[in-house]
Amino acid sequence: MMPLKTSVRATLGLAFLCLAFGVSLTGCKWQPGFGYNKGHSPEQPIPFDHKLHVSTNGIQCQYCHNQVERSKHSNVPALSTCMNCHMQVKTDSPHIQKLAEAYSKGESIPWVRVHMLPDHVTFNHSAHIRRGVNCQTCHGQVETMQKVYQNADLSMGWCINCHRQPENNAPLNCTTCHH
Ligand code: HEC
Ligand code: HEC
Ligand code: HEC
Ligand code: HEC
Ligand code: HEC
């Protein structure tokens, strides 16, 4: 087990106090507000339009995010996945020329992370996908987003609220999400 971050260790005691007094986890006012990045939508090196690719052109999420079922992490697609189409499609676009140039140099596109849980939190995509939780449940209607943004606040309360639904039978103990 990895040692807990000092700040986490220091606040764990408070967390238990909070629980002991029956305050809901979301209501714990001492909780610092990081991770709460709802709506976050950073600029990308190449503007990538999910609506155009998913809704207009019918490309499935997992055609591009192809690690999501197997791995702890989902992934942003490799350039070779883009070039399956963009060797031919829209080659007159300056954005596509930028893709092609990076591809021919063996470089990758430095996509900027949208979602970012703090280091002390463990999340596992494959466990959720295998249980049939949809991408949209957590990420919202990505197929309508011309520029992707963070849909949920990714707070501990958000995770716990779903885990504690009886039908989900999901683990609630602290070490599930904090190692
Ligand atoms: C044609 C390829 C492609 C398809 C299809 C696609 N995506 Fe993406 N997705 C990307 C790329 C490229 C990025 C990184 C650029 C960005 O964030 O806009 C990305 C970023 C994301 C992110 C943000 C990742 C982060 O940095 O936190 C989420 C969430 C996401 N996609 C979900 C989905 C979902 C859900 C679907 C299906 C409804 C989908 N994607 C379909 C290529 C794709
Ligand atoms: C399955 C085919 C397919 C894949 C894979 C694909 N695209 Fe596309 N992409 C398209 C189509 C179709 C269009 C719309 C072309 C048009 O407007 O005529 C498009 C349009 C675009 C545009 C807009 C170009 C412009 O200037 O109008 C960008 C940027 C783009 N794609 C980036 C990407 C990136 C980055 C990836 C890899 C993460 C990717 N695409 C993967 C089919 C694909
Ligand atoms: C139970 C909620 C949940 C579901 C379901 C879910 N995601 Fe995520 N996703 C997250 C969280 C939380 C993060 C941030 C993880 C981190 O920062 O470590 C994330 C991050 C991502 C990222 C950024 C790369 C990464 O792994 O950190 C992509 C891409 C992504 N998700 C795509 C998808 C796709 C595609 C689906 C559906 C096949 C999906 N997600 C289903 C919660 C979810
Ligand atoms: C929409 C409902 C939902 C949300 C939101 C959700 N989870 Fe889960 N989670 C589940 C379910 C259902 C399981 C049980 C999966 C299984 O059968 O192992 C689970 C299991 C897990 C597991 C155990 C995985 C394993 O390997 O057994 C971890 C870790 C986890 N979730 C972390 C998180 C974190 C962290 C968040 C918030 C960032 C989160 N979850 C948000 C539904 C959810
Ligand atoms: C289902 C996943 C999940 C479970 C179970 C969980 N947490 Fe968390 N926890 C998170 C997430 C996500 C964050 C980061 C977002 C935030 O601060 O709300 C977090 C943040 C925290 C923080 C703030 C850390 C800091 O540096 O400020 C503390 C303290 C904490 N959790 C304690 C606990 C305790 C104690 C338990 C057991 C009663 C627990 N957690 C159970 C997901 C979880």
CA dist., res. 59 & res. 41, Å (int): 22
Reported pTM:
0.90
Could you say which ligand is closest to the alpha carbon of residue 91? Answer: 2
The atom of ligand 4 lying closest to the CA of 152 is: 5
- Centroid of ligand 5 to alpha carbon of 75 (angstroms): 24
> Tell me, what's the pLDDT at 28?
43
Tell me which residues have their CB closer than 6 angstroms to ligand 3.
61-62, 65, 68, 73-74, 76, 115-117, 123, 125, 128-129, 133, 135, 137-139, 154
Residue 99 near residue 86, CB atoms below 8 Å: yes
Is 154's C-beta closer than 6 angstroms to any atom of ligand 1?
Answer: no
The structural domains of the chain, with segments of one domain joined by +, span 35-76+111-177
CA torsion sign for 155, 160, 161, 162 is positive
Is 102's C-beta closer than 6 angstroms to any atom of ligand 1?
Answer: no
Q: What is the token pair recorded at 130?
A: 């295998």
**pLDDT of 70 higher than 60:** yes
Radius of gyration of the chain (CA): 19
Angle between helices 79-86 and 94-104 (to 10 degrees): 120
- Centroid of ligand 4 to alpha carbon of 120 (angstroms): 15
Is 152's C-beta closer than 6 angstroms to any atom of ligand 1?
Answer: no
Q: What is the token pair recorded at 38?
A: 């709802």
CA dist., res. 128 & res. 133, Å (int): 6
User: 179 pLDDT band (50/70/90 cuts)?
Assistant: confident
Residue range 6-51, pLDDT digits in tens:
445 545 444 544 443 334 444 443 444 445 788 899 999 999 999 9
Residue range 124-156, pLDDT digits in tens:
899 999 999 999 999 999 999 999 999 999 999
